[in-house]
Structure 1
Amino acid sequence: MFRFLAAALALAGAAGPALARSGDPADPGAAVRPLAHRSTLAARAASAPPETAPGDWRAANARVHAVGGWRVYLKQAHAPEPAAAASVPGGAR
């Protein structure tokens, strides 16, 4: 226990001068690091273009009607994923 406490105090002492150099946080003129932004979406591949042209809404409506309407899409959205149902012991009921 004593060794741990001694090591913690030694680390705190070593970090002390670094913290003191950072300046007073209440000082509006204190130097700060420049803000750097990295987008989480930058490495993501672009999604595929839609199947229909933007002005081809009649074809999109006909496809939704052929599938069974918006209620079918709603049921699909609320259905469990096949992998999730297979991982349940005893299978999905």
Structure 2
Amino acid sequence: AVLLPGDLSDEAFCGELAKKAYQELGGLDTLALVAGKQQAVDDISDLAAEQIYQTFEVNVFSLYWLVKAALPYLPEGASIITTTSVEGYNPSPML
């Protein structure tokens, strides 16, 4: 395992993450995308646009950025795995 902390909402970091992981691990054969951001508010009027942007940057955009950056390092037959939140099929009343 290699620890490479950073901000997945930053496209440049996602590119560096793929490159550093490849270099530090001596190759890539699986890309697992499991990070997520979620923040509840009591009233939708309290949900700031900036929070929506940040959520999409981490939960959606980073998936594309990481796959795009990792593809040159993934050999034929490699795997890309992504997950979703339980909120997608069994949402809590608050969300």
TM-score w.r.t. length of structure 1: 0.21
Specify which structure has the bigger relative contact order, considering alpha-carbon pairs within 8 angstroms and separated by 6 or more residues. 2
> Which one has a larger percent strand, Structure 1 or Structure 2?
2
TM-score w.r.t. length of structure 2: 0.20
Q: Which has the larger radius of gyration?
A: 1
